[in-house]
């Protein structure tokens, strides 16, 4: 998950077979988020790079979907968070989007017909995944959810990453905007880095 | 249906107004707008200065306009001068005069017959630029890019030698597009499918896929096909 490999614009065009015009057009239509355009100086001058995995999967998606949808419709579909998706609690459990253990622990008080917003499902989904990886225990899950609830809205839909560090067994959660470079002292162990935009996208595919 | 009770705003002479939602915004004279405005149409004859963002369906500026934030409009016609502190976007942008954008400038159609300075990326599907003064952009990208020099008579040419601002030249770091045609352009890198480099160009490196046509007087340091 940590491998934020970059791909240059030229390489990207060769790999995907799209043209400069298409790339700029999609950027105008906001199909490709602004912060994926990373400008770096190279020996030939300024060049633009993209996060490799993100851009390749995004372009693949655009090419596959643009047959049936107009670009504007596509833009709505691709925007990572502001997606109009709500799901009832019993359905989340039934479709196994979030495991029942997590739901029981963190949402036991809500009745079965509570409707969750996409954001809430995302938080539970992230917690669920970290728990299933064995990276986190249930008590820490509580901490994670409160961090997400408090700080995630501050990013206002911009891409951000969840970082989970542990030092001497003490868990620390942080949210950083992407792309960011972080270095830690040697005693701290980075347990997990979760790019939330990617998580949201995966979750969205599960829901639709 | 909800009733549309947005007011019109008219400033004749000297005046100022708050931001907000308007139907039609017309300024004859000197106006000042505090805060962001959203309107169906925005017409300036004279001078206007705004603190915040401007969003409008149709913008027509005859005179001078300073936008403190971003400018977003369906169609923007600039017969005069517009300065934008933030970014600018629109469906169609026509510049007959001057345009200065601090951020990026994005449009489906961008036509310029004057001068402009875009400090970020100038991104348009269809771009037609007739250079009448000093044009600059950090990056230019789009599908069809045509940059031609504007006409110049004898006297104008004399003035151009004296005042550098009048020099007919476009400068950019990179120009990328599918179909590119350039004249009087200085750029470090030009990348495209079909590229035509006309007279008066000084290009560091041209990367093209299918076709490169170069004027014998154009200066190109490096040509790469691929």
Query: pLDDT for B49-86, tens place per residue?
Result: 999 999 999 999 999 999 999 999 999 999 999 999 99
B222 contacts chain A (CB < 8 A): no
B137, B66: one domain: no
Query: Do A20 and B204 count as a contact with CB atoms less than 8 A apart?
Result: no
Domains and CATH numbers, chain A: 6-78 (1.10.1660.10), 87-207 (no CATH)
Which are the contacts of B58, defined by CB distance < 8 A and separation ≥ 6? B40, B41, B42, B73, B74, B75, B76, B77
B73, B132: one domain: no
Query: Do B178 and A20 count as a contact with CB atoms less than 8 A apart?
Result: yes
Bigger pLDDT: B152 vs A20: A20
Domains: count for chain B: 2
Q: Is the pTM of this model over 0.80?
A: no
B58, B148: one domain: no
Among B31, B26, B74, which residue's Cα sits nearest to residue B51? B31
- Residue A27 is nearest to which of B123, B144, B179, comparing CB atoms? B123
What is the distance in angstroms between the Cα of B220 and the nearest Cα belonging to chain A? Answer: 15
Q: Confidence band (pLDDT; 50, 70, 90) for A80?
A: low
Q: Is residue B143 part of a domain?
A: yes
Query: pLDDT for B121-135, tens place per residue?
Result: 999 999 999 998 899
What is the ipTM for the molecules in this complex? Answer: 0.85
Strands (E), chain B: 9-50, 54-67, 71-84, 88-95, 98-101, 105-131, 134-149, 169-182, 185-197, 202-214, 219-225
B97 contacts chain A (CB < 8 A): no
Residues A181, A185, A191: CA angle, nearest 5 degrees:
70
pLDDT reported for residue B70: 92
- Is residue A79's pLDDT more than 80? no
Query: pLDDT for B144-172, tens place per residue?
Result: 999 998 866 666 677 777 776 678 899 99
Range of the domain at B211: 119-226
Q: Is residue B105 part of a domain?
A: no
Query: pLDDT for B188-223, tens place per residue?
Result: 999 999 999 999 999 999 999 999 999 999 999 999
């Amino acid at each position: 998950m940590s491998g934020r490999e970059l791909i240059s614009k030229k390489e990207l065009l060769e790999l995907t077979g799209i043209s400069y015009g298409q790339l700029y057009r999609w950027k105008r239509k906001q199909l490709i988020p602004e912060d994926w355009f990373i400008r770096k100086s190279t020996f030939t001058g300024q060049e633009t790079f993209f996060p490799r995995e993100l851009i390749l999967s995004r372009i693949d998606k655009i090419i596959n979907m643009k047959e049936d949808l107009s670009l504007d419709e596509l833009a709505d579909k691709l925007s990572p968070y502001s997606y109009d998706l709500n799901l009832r609690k019993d359905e989340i459990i039934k479709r196994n989007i979030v495991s029942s253990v997590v739901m029981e622990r963190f949402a036991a008080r809500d009745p079965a017909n509570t409707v969750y917003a996409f954001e809430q499902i995302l938080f539970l989904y992230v917690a669920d995944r970290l728990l299933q990886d064995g990276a986190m225990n249930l008590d820490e899950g509580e901490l994670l959810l409160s961090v997400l609830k408090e700080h995630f809205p501050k990013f206002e839909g911009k891409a951000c990453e969840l970082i989970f560090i542990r030092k001497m067994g003490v868990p620390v959660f942080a949210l950083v905007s992407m792309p960011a470079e972080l270095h830690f002292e040697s005693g701290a162990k980075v347990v997990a880095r979760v790019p939330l935009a990617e998580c949201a996208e995966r979750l969205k595919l599960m829901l639709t | 249906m909800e009733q549309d009770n947005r007011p019109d705003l008219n400033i004749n002479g000297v005046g100022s107004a708050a931001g907000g939602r308007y139907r039609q915004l017309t300024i004859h004279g000197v106006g000042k707008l505090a805060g962001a405005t959203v309107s169906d149409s925005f017409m300036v004859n004279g001078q206007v200065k705004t603190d915040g963002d401007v969003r409008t369906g149709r913008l027509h500026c005859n005179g001078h306009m300073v936008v403190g934030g971003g400018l977003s409009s369906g169609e923007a016609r600039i017969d005069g001068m517009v300065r934008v502190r933030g970014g600018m976007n629109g469906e169609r942008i026509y510049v007959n005069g001057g345009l200065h954008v601090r951020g990026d400038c994005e449009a489906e159609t961008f036509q310029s017959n004057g001068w402009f300075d875009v400090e970020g990326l100038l991104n348009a599907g269809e771009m037609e630029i007739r250079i009448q003064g000093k044009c600059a952009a950090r990056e230019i990208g789009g599908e069809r890019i045509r940059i031609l020099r504007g006409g110049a008579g004898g006297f104008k040419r004399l003035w151009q030698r004296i005042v550098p601002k009048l020099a007919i030249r476009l400068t950019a770091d990179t120009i990328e597009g599918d179909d590119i045609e350039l004249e009087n352009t200085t750029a470090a890198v030009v990348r495209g499918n079909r590229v035509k480099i006309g007279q008066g160009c000084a290009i560091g490196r041209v990367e093209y896929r299918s076709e490169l046509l170069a004027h014998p007087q154009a200066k190109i340091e490096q040509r790469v096909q691929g």
